[in-house]
Amino acid sequence: MHPMLNIAIRAVRKAGDHVIKSLEKPQAIEVANKGNDVVTNIDKEAEAIIIETILKSYPDHCIIAAEGSNKEGRDKDCQWIIDPVDGTKNFVRGYPHFAISVALRMRGRTEIAAVYDPTRNELFTATRGSGAQLNSQRIRVSEPRDLTGTTLATGLPFAAKQHAESFAKIQNALFVDCDDMRQSGCSALDLCYLAAGRVDGVFKLGLKPWEIAAGELIAREAGAICTDFTGNTNYLTSGNIVAGPARVVKPLLSKIREHGSEALNK
* 179 known member of a binding site: no
Q: Is residue 112 part of a domain?
A: yes
Mean pLDDT over the full length of the chain? 94
Q: What torsion, rounded to 10 degrees, do the Cα atoms 169, 171, 173, 177 define?
A: 180
In a domain, 144, yes or no: no
Check whether 180 is labelled as a binding-site residue: no
Same domain, 22 and 120: yes
CATH of residue 126's domain is 3.30.540.10
For residue 146, being part of any structural domain is answered with no
What is residue 2's predicted lDDT score, i.e. its pLDDT?
85
CATH of the domain at 221: 3.40.190.80
DSSP summary character for residue 161: G
The reply to whether 45 falls in a domain is yes
The answer to whether position 91 is within a domain reads yes
- Could you tell me if residue 88 is inside a domain? yes
pLDDT of residue 208: 94
Q: Would residue 16 count as lying in a domain? A: yes
Domains: count for the chain: 2
Check: CB of residue 229 under 8 Å from CB of residue 221.
no
Question: How far is Cα 153 from Cα 141, in angstroms, rounded to an integer?
Answer: 14
pTM reported for the whole predicted model: 0.95
Residues 7 and 124 in one domain: yes
One domain, residues 43 and 109: yes
Single residue among 80, 111, 138 that ends a domain in this structure: 138
Last residue of a domain, one of 110, 138, 166: 138
Cβ(113)–Cβ(8) below 8 Å: yes
pLDDT at 97: 97
Q: Report how far residue 144's alpha carbon sits from residue 249's, in angstroms, rounded to the nearest whole number.
A: 11
Q: DSSP states of 8-65 as a string?
A: HHHHHHHHHHHHHHHTT-GGG--EEEETTEEEEHHHHHHHHHHHHHHHHH-TTEEEEE
* Segments forming the whole domain that contains residue 115: 3-138
What is the pLDDT, as a whole number, of residue 11? 98
61 and 122, same domain (yes or no): yes
Looking at the chain, how many residues does it have?
266
Do 87 and 214 lie in one domain? The reply is no
Residue 49 placed within a domain: yes
List per-residue pLDDT tens for the chain, 266 residues long: 689 999 999 999 999 999 999 999 988 999 998 877 889 899 999 999 999 999 999 999 999 999 988 999 999 999 999 999 999 999 999 999 999 999 999 999 999 999 999 999 999 999 999 999 999 999 999 999 999 999 999 998 887 788 888 889 999 999 999 999 999 999 999 999 999 999 999 999 999 999 999 999 999 999 999 999 999 999 999 999 999 999 999 999 999 999 877 767 66
What pLDDT is attached to residue 263?
64
